[in-house]
């Protein structure tokens, strides 16, 4: 906390202060981004047609065709249930600004990506943390969740699959969340940006949409599709709520860009969409195998709950340094960037992203092991 009570976004601050200019960047959470050339080829996009697009404001809530493609991804959703936003980031921000009323509290899981919780805190709301338990495969501490929820709980925020652990909620954990929310009339706000990045199956993680009445599902083009630079995301919510979010969206950004909406429309056509998620899964699966091999070089130093999805692994280490020192030395001495666990409130861990070109990944991991050799002396 700063003197004014403003809580910076610890993970994003670390990234924006360190990631530019670093040679081996393993700090990102998505797969290696696609080039425009690759996107145009994979999605058969006609350049001339796209270049004729006016550099204009698009439909503020999202072009009809785009909202149609998005709605088709959710059971019984219609385009009226969809608001297109500037990334999942804007969706999380709008949700915090719209749903919460004086006296409300928000439940978030730890460790997690704190976009919604941080916004809620900065708006003056109480945020309650419920731990995910590492030696149970990062399962939800169900009794802690039931104890934390009360009549003033307005939002249970879940990131599924999770950032930074890559874990997918078990059926039992999902049920506990749904039951806890229903018991007190809270909204489940499900940030599902890593759905579609599964490692062991080609079946995408099911959305919370449809699990109960009060659900807001958030997603974007950034992770499963490898297109973070489009800055295009969305939320899916009951129609009346979409209207309320839309009113804030007019203040926050007016709209995502015309070009991003057009490109997302091409990318979300079913045949193209499959190609993009296949690309992401290929990078994720190969990258994790390479990471596991490299971590095994130092017996007893590293352990990791294998991520079920996402490009990320939340690696535990047994070394005589804390996570900030480890990450700082890696950056200074080896030009390698990872995120220290301290940024997620968990010591002795770092977040590592491995869905990258193989040679680059291997060379960076060599450097990481070199630092470990030096630390162990
Ligand atoms: C869980 C989660 N939600 C949202 C975001 C931001 O996504 P976007 O690029 O769509 O704004 C991230 C980025 O790392 C994330 O990990």
Can you give the pLDDT of all 377 residues of the chain as single tens digits? Answer: 444 589 999 999 999 999 999 999 999 999 999 999 999 999 999 999 999 999 999 999 999 999 999 999 999 999 999 999 999 999 999 999 999 999 999 999 999 999 999 999 999 999 999 999 999 999 999 999 999 999 999 999 999 999 999 999 999 999 999 999 999 999 999 999 999 999 999 999 999 999 999 999 999 999 999 999 999 999 999 999 999 999 999 999 999 999 999 999 999 999 999 999 999 999 999 999 999 999 999 999 999 999 999 999 999 999 999 999 999 999 999 999 999 999 999 999 999 999 999 999 999 999 999 999 999 99
- Give the ligand 1 atom nearest the CA of 88: 10
Question: Which residue pairs from 285-292 have beta carbons closer than 8 angstroms and sit at least 24 positions apart in sequence?
Answer: 285/199, 286/358, 287/311, 287/353, 287/354, 287/355, 287/356, 287/358, 287/361, 288/199, 288/313, 288/354, 290/354, 290/358, 290/361, 290/362, 290/365, 291/352, 291/354, 291/361, 291/365
Kindly state whether residue 51 falls inside one of the protein's structural domains: no
Kindly state whether residue 296 falls inside one of the protein's structural domains: yes
Give per-residue burial for 268-285: e unless 16+ CB within 10 Å, then b.
Answer: beeebbeebbebbbebbe
Cβ contact 241:216 at 8 Å: yes
Q: How far, in Å, from the CA of 288 to the mean position of ligand 1?
A: 20
Kindly state whether residue 342 falls inside one of the protein's structural domains: yes
pTM of the model: 0.97
> 104 and 31, same structural domain?
no
Assigned token pair, 261: 């909406």
Out of 204, 239, 269, pick the residue that ends a domain: 269
- Give the ligand 1 atom nearest the CA of 221: 10
> 350 and 331, same structural domain?
yes
Kindly state whether residue 264 falls inside one of the protein's structural domains: yes
Q: How far, in Å, from the CA of 247 to the mean position of ligand 1?
A: 22
Q: Which pLDDT value is given to residue 2?
A: 43
> 262 and 137, same structural domain?
yes
Ligand 1 shell residues, CB under 6 Å = 29, 87-89, 113, 115, 159, 163, 191, 193, 220, 222, 228, 233
Q: Which pLDDT value is given to residue 4?
A: 54
> 184 and 82, same structural domain?
yes
- Give the ligand 1 atom nearest the CA of 112: 1
> 227 and 329, same structural domain?
no
Out of 252, 269, 286, pick the residue that ends a domain: 269
Q: Which pLDDT value is given to residue 25?
A: 97
The domain in which residue 32 lies consists of 10-36+273-372
Out of 243, 269, 295, pick the residue that ends a domain: 269
Kindly state whether residue 278 falls inside one of the protein's structural domains: yes
Q: How far, in Å, from the CA of 168 to the mean position of ligand 1?
A: 16
> 200 and 149, same structural domain?
yes
Q: Which residue's CA is the nearest one to ligand 1's atom 13?
A: 29
The number of domains in the chain is 2
> 219 and 197, same structural domain?
yes
- Give the ligand 1 atom nearest the CA of 232: 10
Q: Which residue's CA is the nearest one to ligand 1's atom 14?
A: 29
């Amino acid at each position: 906390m700063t003197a004014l009570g403003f809580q910076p976004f610890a993970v994003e601050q670390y990234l924006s202060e360190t990631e530019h200019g670093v040679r081996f960047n393993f700090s990102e959470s998505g797969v290696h981004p696609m080039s425009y050339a690759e996107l145009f080829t994979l999605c058969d996009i006609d350049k001339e047609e796209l270049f004729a697009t006016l550099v204009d404001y698009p439909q503020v809530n999202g072009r009809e065709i785009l909202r149609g493609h998005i709605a088709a991804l959710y059971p019984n959703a219609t385009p009226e249930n969809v608001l297109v936003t500037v990334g999942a980031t804007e969706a999380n921000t709008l949700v915090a600004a719209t749903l919460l009323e004086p006296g409300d509290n928000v439940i978030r899981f730890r460790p997690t990506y704190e976009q919604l919780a941080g916004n809620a805190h900065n708006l003056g709301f109480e945020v309650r943390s419920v731990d995910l338990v590492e030696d149970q495969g990062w399962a939800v501490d169900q009794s802690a969740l039931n104890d934390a929820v009360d009549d003033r709980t307005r939002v249970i925020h879940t990131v599924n699959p999770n950032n930074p652990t890559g874990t997918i909620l078990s059926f039992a954990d999902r049920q506990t969340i749904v039951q806890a929310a229903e018991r007190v009339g809270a909204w489940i706000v499900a940030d599902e940006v890593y759905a579609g990045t599964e490692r062991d199956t080609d079946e995408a993680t099911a959305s919370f949409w449809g699990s109960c009445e009060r659900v807001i599902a958030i997603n974007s083009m950034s992770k499963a599709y490898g297109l973070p630079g489009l800055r295009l995301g969305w939320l899916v919510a009951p129609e009346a709520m979409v209207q309320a979010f839309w009113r804030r969206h007019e203040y926050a950004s007016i709209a995502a860009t015309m070009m991003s909406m057009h490109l997302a429309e091409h990318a979300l056509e079913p045949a193209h969409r499959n190609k993009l998620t296949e690309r992401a899964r290929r990078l994720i699966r190969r990258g994790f195998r390479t990471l596991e091999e490299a971590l095994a070089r130092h017996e007893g130093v590293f352990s990791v709950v294998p991520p079920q999805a996402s490009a990320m692994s939340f690696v535990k280490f047994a070394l005589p340094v804390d996570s900030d020192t480890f990450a700082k030395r890696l950056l200074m001495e080896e030009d390698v960037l990872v995120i220290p666990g301290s940024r997620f409130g968990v010591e002795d861990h770092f977040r590592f992203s491995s869905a990258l070109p193989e040679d680059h990944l291997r060379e960076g991991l060599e450097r990481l092991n070199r630092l470990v050799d030096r630390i162990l002396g």
